């Protein structure tokens, strides 16, 4: 497997976001949460596959985007790919943001998402000279929290 190099089209880094997915990002994000998670070993190369979903009005999770990337241990490639994905998606949906982003207990996901949100002007407002986060608050999945307490 080759290392991931940003901007090098020959490397395994794929974002899938179709036009209808962008529309779902725009229409399902306001006053709603995205759930972002990854799966491993679901393909012959063992690459992580990330997905973001948001519930529709019936509570059914609708896919917002998919991302697959390399994950060479210690390289930071996976974190970088997740950050690039979020930046690209945020750039395509203008100033629309979810209220929250729900993740499992992955520090990699937390650090990548937090870095993008920190620099995202659409997730913050300035009130009386104080920067206040208004969107994209990072929440831990209750199932994973409960599992950690019980284990």
| Per-residue pLDDT tens digits for 47-104 | 888 999 999 999 899 999 999 887 777 778 889 999 999 999 999 999 999 999 999 8
- What pLDDT band is residue 145 in, cutting at 50, 70 and 90? low
Using alpha carbons, select from 63, 48, 46, 61 the residue that is nearest to residue 14. Answer: 48
Residue 69 near residue 81 (C-beta atoms within 8 A): yes
Query: What predicted TM-score, i.e. pTM, was given to this entire model?
Result: 0.83
Strands 49-55 and 124-127: unpaired
CB 62 within 8 A of CB 54: yes
Average pLDDT score over residue span 100-124: 95
The radius of gyration of the chain from alpha carbons, rounded to an integer in Å, stands at 16
Question: Residue ranges of the alpha helices (H) in the chain?
Answer: 19-29, 77-92, 107-118, 142-150
Whether the predicted pLDDT of 11 surpasses 50: yes
Tell me, what DSSP letter sits at residue 58? T
Q: What is the bridge-based pairing of β-strands 61-69 and 49-55?
A: antiparallel
pLDDT in the model for residue 144: 55
Domain spans in the chain, listed from the N-terminal domain onward = 13-150
**DSSP symbol at 9:** T
* Position 117 pLDDT exceeds 90: yes
Residues 37 and 49 sit within 8 Å (Cβ to Cβ): no
Q: What is the mean pLDDT of residues 105-130?
A: 95
Task: Enumerate the β-bridge partners of residue 139.
Answer: 102
For residue 99, how many other CB atoms are within 10 A of its CB? 15
Considering the domain 13-150 in this protein, what is its CATH number? 3.30.420
CA distance 142 to 37: 14
């Amino acid at each position: 497997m080759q290392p991931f190099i940003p901007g090098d089209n020959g490397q395994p880094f794929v974002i899938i976001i179709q036009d209808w997915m962008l529309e779902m990002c725009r229409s399902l994000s306001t006053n709603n949460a995205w759930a972002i998670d990854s799966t491993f070993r679901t393909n012959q190369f063992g690459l992580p596959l990330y997905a973001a979903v948001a519930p529709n009005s019936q509570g059914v999770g609708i896919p917002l985007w998919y991302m697959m990337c390399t994950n060479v241990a210690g390289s930071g490639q996976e974190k970088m790919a997740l950050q690039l994905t979020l930046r690209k998606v945020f750039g395509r949906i203008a100033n629309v943001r979810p209220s929250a982003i729900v993740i499992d207990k992955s520090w990699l996901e937390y650090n990548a998402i937090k870095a993008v949100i920190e620099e995202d002007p659409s997730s913050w407002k300035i009130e009386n000279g104080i920067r206040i986060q208004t969107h994209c608050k990072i929440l831990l999945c209750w199932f994973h929290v409960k599992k950690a307490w019980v284990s």
